[in-house]
Amino acid sequence: MNTQFVVGESSSSSNLSYDVFLSFRGEDTRKNFTGHLYFRLCQVGVNTFIDDEELRKGDVISNKLDKAIEQSRIAIVVFSKNYASSSWCLDELVKILDCKERLNQVVLPIFYDVDPSQVRRQTGSFDKALKKHKERLVGAERMEKWKAALTEAADLSGWDLRNVADGHESRFIESILKQVLQLVNQTPLDVAYHPVGVDYHVRDIELVLQSGCEHEVRMVGINGVGGIGKTTLAKAIYNRIFQQFSSCCLLSNVRSETEAFGIVKLQEKLLNQILKTKDVKVRSVAEGVNLIKERLGSKKVLIILDDVDHMNQLEALTRERSWFGSGSLIVITTRDEHLLCRLRENERYKAKLLNGNEAMQLFSLHAFNSPFPQHDYVNLAKDIIKYSGGLPLALVTLGSHLQGRSVEEWRYEFKKLREIPHCDIQKILQLSFDGLDDNTQSVFLDIAFAFHGFHKDKVTEALNACGFYSESAIATLFQRHLLQRSGSYLVMHDLVRDMGREIVRKQSPGDPGKRSRLFKPQEVRDVLQGNKGSKKVEILVVERQALKGVKLSTEAFRKMINLRVLKIDDLHISGDFELLSKELRWLSWKGCPLKCIPSNFPAEKLVVLNMEGSDVQDFGLNLQYCRNLKRLDLSDCKRLRRTPNFKGSRSLERLVLGNCSSLKEIHPSIGNLDRLTGLKLNGCEKITDLPSSICQLKSLRFLDIKDCSSLQTLPVDIGDMQRLKYLFASGTGIRELPGSVEMLGNLINLEIGGLYLEAKRRFSQTRVRPVVSLSSKFISILHLPYCGFSEGDVPRNIESLSNLRDLDLSGNNFLYLPFDFSKLPLLACLFLNDCENLQTLPSISNLEYLHTLELWNCQKLVNITGLDNLPSIQTIDMINCTSLQNPLNEGFFSAHALSTPSREHQKYEPSLQIECNEIPDWCSNKVTAPSICLTMPTVHNNKFLGMVLWFVCRLCDVHEQEHFVVTVVHKKSSGFPWIWPFDRPDSHGEVSCIYYLSSANDTPFKGLNIKGGEQITVKNETDRDIVKKIGIHLLYLDQHGNVASLPGVVDHSYTPYPQRLSAGHINSNNISNEILQVRSVAVDINEQTSENVLCTMENVFHKNRPWTWIYQMISIPLKCLFGKCFSG
């Protein structure tokens, strides 16, 4: 049989009426071969459909036969010499292959005294039969379907009587019977009562399966947090393809089965299921391995190992692909991604959470037996959906738990859930926690209580200070899906975090003071005000404002002698600070009301001290005794006048003093901080100079003095800081850079420039002495805006900065740029805004990574060359370039349609803004109106690539920060609105906003294949009369690989809103009720889309728009979500 995995809709065995459908030519084989085959199939209990001659009357296949084919698991096609002479047989074959594609029906071709090549090529008797059909004036389209079906069926692996059992019919029939019984005896698995969202994720995995070689042994590993639906996915995959294997085996709950019975029993179960016996006995793991290799090596098998939690399970059951026959598939589900390290990268699939629509549907099906919630429950349902975070386990559990209860009961139960997780959810999620070692469990709980949402570096710093091996623990938590990355920050799924907090609550359910970690405001208040703390408390978190106005004594902390992490932001505490725990490693006391840090503050083991936004005037604390302090944050301490003496503080690595507006001096001892890597002084507007000792900071990599407006100079020897990588010095009073700046050989980011004047809402130039040259070959970001540079002032060796990615020379005075962009191959961002004297640019052709080009207010710029060859471009802003002719020709978009953007930016669509009030002639579909309706052209052999949307907008009356929204709607029931907020360009006239929407990008088209004859409508959804003209330029790839533009048909009579009715035609109460009804249904279509739909509806009465418009507007998203048609 063909082993290529087939993608199609799954058919549950419960929906099928027959095991086998027999397709044959009656006059050839009814009374011999097919009759005998039918008898044997019935004899062994295979439910087989064989037609009656009475059904074959007329020229069209009967409805009964049509239904019988669809209701059969297997179709056996008996090709004989006269098979093709029957139009009935040929129509049956077309229908059978359609069911193979759509329903995953198994097709078994049998060649009875006929050569398969005659069927495949339609020669011999098949050629003669088809010619006779043609003479009978059978339509050409029907003939083509027959020929294609014959070819496809003959290409399937099947049986040729001449090559099996030496032509003996009886033995031939027994071979067929054996194969059929193997298929029939395999039954589908029960996937889920409501398998919402499953098909979408199964298709992702099937694409992976189809991409590989059909003869190799494939493995697929599905990993994810507990309750996300890994087992459901594995079962759904099984049901899609199990009929393509000689034997199948599902080993459920491998984790618990191993714990209860051992791996040997699992090996026995695998062998017995695959070999269809009960006789195999395994005495040891080693013996089991040998038996698997010996007995299964020639079999094409499907094996699912569900909930694997240890590598030894995989070693004993499926260690090597060579243990199994060609075409086999092994599916593994696990919570631990590390267990899949031996699989290829494309064989590892991370199970995804449900999106908002899927989550609402799944929850509602279990709570209401309906795909959407009842009216009175809508808001509560949305709260529970948000709480569940798309986790199927939670949605199913809570939906079933709340079914049939009143609204008041729902409110009570939800309130309870926020305090104590549902026991079934807790049990499943805690399995992952229980499998961790002590170190990793502690790290998990610390993050769940104190460091959720923190930067990874800050978390590891704090946890290492507490004595944990945080790096390895965090890596394990990632692999077990108990922790996730959001950029550089660490986050947990809310239910996973709550699981950890529940574990700690159970340490002492009735006495919070005896738990290891505290965070709930009421419990913290009770413990602190009642002095109920104990030595068991290690972490205490007081959320800001939680104890506002409450004054506490340090006595409240006396018993917490093992407290190591303390967050008391905005809390007012007085007393003897020596009573605080001497084990403190991490302290956050933002908004501290103390004027001076007490000298007896227990800081011996403190590693992180954050007092951002405090009232501290004099630090007070002797840093000599803070030998372990690595990070000190005193930013936004507006009253701080001087820094502490840093003598003896050898461990300090990060010093943050940003926006300390009263700070005038930096203590010279700062030069003693040998390990200091980062120093932030930004916004310290009273600092006039930096101590020369700062140049002794040999480890310093990051120096931020941005917006130190009184700072006039940099230390002469700043070039001695050889490890300095980032220097931010824009917005200072510095007029001249020391010559030693050129010695900063490791510099990556240099920013120097003018002051931002808030009153004028623009930058002012600060005349800076030119930087003659820059020696660092590592510079990737160079910002020199508003420095008053002319052509000769630009650093002369800028072309040698081969790693430069971001260049900002805005607001300077040069007429041209004295360097060649081709020498900067990695350049991604180029900013030349406000260069009012700039007349010409070097060619920007071949900057393959350039994605942002800003040139606004370059009023003398007349020409730009190379725009057509920017494959990664995403943003171009040329507003108020009044001397520049429209540089965007048709070739620009054709080139972009063919380009392959860099991976980092390929998910974004180009957004262009230029000073232009006309849509160019090459844009073939355009109107002078705020909306357009376009019928797509019907084309053959051309592939739709995308479209250019060109808007001419009048923005002089639009507020500076306002957006306007344009909706692109694919006029089809399966379509979905695409809503894009356009940022307001900085212009006071008519400008052009241009967007390219690629069909390859999921964002605008949602994977829809827009076909000829279908409609696209584009309209402005804002109240203001902003859009004046709209153009749509359609791009196609022709059969020669060239980009072609084809015109559609513009409906010039189209208006998005019918003529407004008088107020008397509309009942405001009815409209309000209708809006409430829609709110109860359209709960979460697409967050942006639903908000736009509902907000627009709520303004309907004020706009006097008629009823029909309401339904027209919401019909597409509602149909897309619920498959229902709403009519007015």
Active site residues: 92
CA distance 152 to 97: 8
| Angle, helices 87-103/63-70, rounded to nearest 10 degrees | 30
CA distance 173 to 493: 57
| Angle, helices 407-419/378-388, rounded to nearest 10 degrees | 20
First CA to last CA distance, the chain? 53
Tokens of 306: 């569900």
User: Contact, 1026 vs 1020, CB < 8 A?
Assistant: yes
What's 986-1000 look like in SS3? CCCCEEEEEEEEECC
CA distance 388 to 493: 9
Cβ atoms < 10 Å from Cβ of 957: 10
For the chain, counts of helices (H) and of strands (E): 30, 43
How open is the CA angle 763-764-766, to the nearest 5 degrees?
A: 125
CA distance 693 to 672: 8
- In which element (H, E) is residue 630 found? none
CA distance 1004 to 995: 11
- Tokens 């006097």 belong to residue: 1104
What proportions of the chain, in percent to the nearest 5, are helix, strand and coil?
35, 20, 45
Give the residues across from 78 on adjacent strands: 110
- The DSSP secondary-structure symbol of 642 reads B
Tokens of 846: 């071949």
User: Contact, 105 vs 96, CB < 8 A?
Assistant: yes
Cβ atoms < 10 Å from Cβ of 486: 8
- Tokens 């004099």 belong to residue: 618
Instruction: Please give the single-letter amino acid code of residue 481.
Output: H
CA distance 609 to 635: 11
How open is the CA angle 471-472-477, to the nearest 5 degrees?
A: 100
Select from 702, 648, 703 the least CA-distant residue to 670: 648
**How many Cα atoms sit within 13 Å of 546 on the Cβ side?**
17
H helix intervals, 114-185: 116-121, 125-135, 140-155, 169-184
Tokens of 662: 């009263």
Instruction: Please give the single-letter amino acid code of residue 440.
Output: T
CA distance 356 to 369: 18
Select from 722, 723, 688 the least CA-distant residue to 705: 688
Cβ atoms < 10 Å from Cβ of 882: 12
CA distance 849 to 824: 10
Cβ atoms < 10 Å from Cβ of 760: 8
- The DSSP secondary-structure symbol of 645 reads P
User: Contact, 857 vs 877, CB < 8 A?
Assistant: no
DSSP 982-1049: EEPPS-SSEEEEEEEEETT-HHHHTT----TT-EEEEEE-SSS--EEEEEEEEEEE-TTS-EEE---E
CA distance 873 to 370: 46
